[in-house]
Amino acid sequence: MALIKFVKENKEIDAALGSNLRFKAQENNIDIYTFVGKLTQCGGYGQCGTCVVDIVSGAENLSPRTAVEEKMLRKRPSSCRLACQTIIQGPASIETKPDKKASFKKAKAEAMAKQVARESDASPHKPASTSAE
């Protein structure tokens, strides 16, 4: 069993290892869908992208992102998951219905940090910037 905390709802649930995050949330009356999501959700088949959650902590205790998630969440930060594609393998803290604007900002910052890291890796002998004298 693993303890899963839903931060916004301030609710903790016990989940069996190997259980599906969406299923456990619904089973415990945790609402993971926005209003539009309730109307358009695909039923957990990874087709609609409406079950997005943000992993606050314990991401290492969840199954890795699937190819479907990589495609559907490309504009979201790496901490976002589709609940229906996430298998619980240990304790974690989850934020349901993450704010879209904040999420996009976080993803943009993440992408910029990756680009800076890539550029510094590409030119390891680049002299350090000199200060204006």
The answer to the question of residue 49 lying near ligand FES (CB under 6 A) is: yes
Nearer to ligand FES, 50 or 92 (CB): 50
Q: What is the DSSP string of 57-91?
A: E-GGGBPPPPHHHHHHTTTS-TTEEEGGG-BB-S-
Q: Which of 47, 61, 63, 93 binds ligand FES (CB under 6 A)?
A: 47
What CA–CA distance (Å, rounded) separates 32 from 53? 7
Q: Which of 84, 88, 94, 107 binds ligand FES (CB under 6 A)?
A: 84
Contact set for ligand FES, span 52-71 (CB under 6 A): none
Q: Which of 83, 92, 107 is nearest to 57 (CA)?
A: 92
Interacting residue ranges for ligand FES, rule: CB under 6 A = 41-42, 44, 46-51, 82, 84
